[in-house]
């Protein structure tokens, strides 16, 4: 009886398919979508910074080498200056090749797009949880909504670029906080 009163106080009609377990699952998926979004945003930021770290030296070195070449065209130029200009030219070429090969900018944009897709899922779940309790009871069977949401999350997961263990670990550490207070605890399993 007390459980039925608590359920009614929360706004869920007795017998409603939108049980606390369904809401707990939504909260869990919301947490996962948030974690994925933030991990992809963080990875995109790191890749953008790497792009700048490679790009600025390439621009500076190629500019220096380009202007120094005219100085080395004279007949009486120190051999040391020619060697330095040659080495800087090679270094600029290596950095530009690495920047092109590692595709920091392109990869950053892919992670940024994935972060936006995950943030969209999080906002959708936030909306459903915010509309609780009155709206959810009128939504009917939650299975259809959960199935569609799961398919959407699976699709986003397949389209998202790889993160690597370090990218996930950094974000996972942030979300290792205690379970939402509204989430019911799981009953202990009897020892077998």
pTM of the model: 0.70
The H or E element containing residue 23 is: helix 20-72
Plot region of 30 (φ>0 → left; ψ -120 to 50 → alpha; else → beta): alpha
Per DSSP, helices labelled H in 73-185 are 79-102, 104-131, 134-138, 142-159, 164-174
Q: How many CA atoms lie within 13 A of 167 on its CB side?
A: 19
Q: Tokens at residue 84, please?
A: 């330095």
Distance (Å, rounded) from C-alpha 110 to C-alpha 183? 34
186's tokens: 């799981």
pLDDT in tens, the chain (192 residues): 445 455 445 555 556 778 889 889 999 999 999 999 999 999 999 999 999 998 999 999 888 888 887 777 777 778 888 888 889 989 999 999 998 899 999 999 999 999 999 999 999 999 888 886 667 666 667 888 899 999 999 999 999 998 877 666 666 666 554 444 344 444 444 443
- In total, the chain counts a number of residues equal to 192
């Amino acid at each position: 009886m007390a459980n039925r009163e608590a359920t009614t106080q929360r706004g869920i009609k007795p017998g409603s398919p939108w049980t606390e377990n369904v809401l707990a699952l939504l909260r869990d998926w919301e947490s996962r979508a948030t974690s994925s979004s933030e991990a992809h945003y963080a990875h995109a930021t790191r890749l953008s910074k790497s792009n700048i770290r490679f790009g600025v030296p390439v621009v500076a070195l190629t500019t220096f080498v380009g202007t120094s070449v005219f100085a080395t065209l004279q007949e009486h130029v120190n051999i040391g200056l020619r060697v330095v200009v040659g080495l800087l030219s090679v270094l600029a070429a290596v950095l530009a090749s690495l920047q092109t090969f590692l595709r920091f900018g392109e990869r950053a944009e892919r992670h940024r797009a994935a972060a936006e897709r995950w943030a969209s899922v999080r906002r959708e779940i936030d909306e459903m949880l915010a509309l609780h309790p009155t709206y959810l009871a009128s939504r009917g069977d939650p299975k259809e909504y959960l199935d569609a949401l799961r398919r959407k999350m699976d699709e986003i997961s397949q389209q998202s670029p790889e993160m690597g263990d370090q990218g996930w670990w950094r974000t996972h550490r942030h979300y290792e906080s205690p379970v939402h207070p509204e989430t019911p605890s799981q009953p202990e399993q009897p020892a077998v």
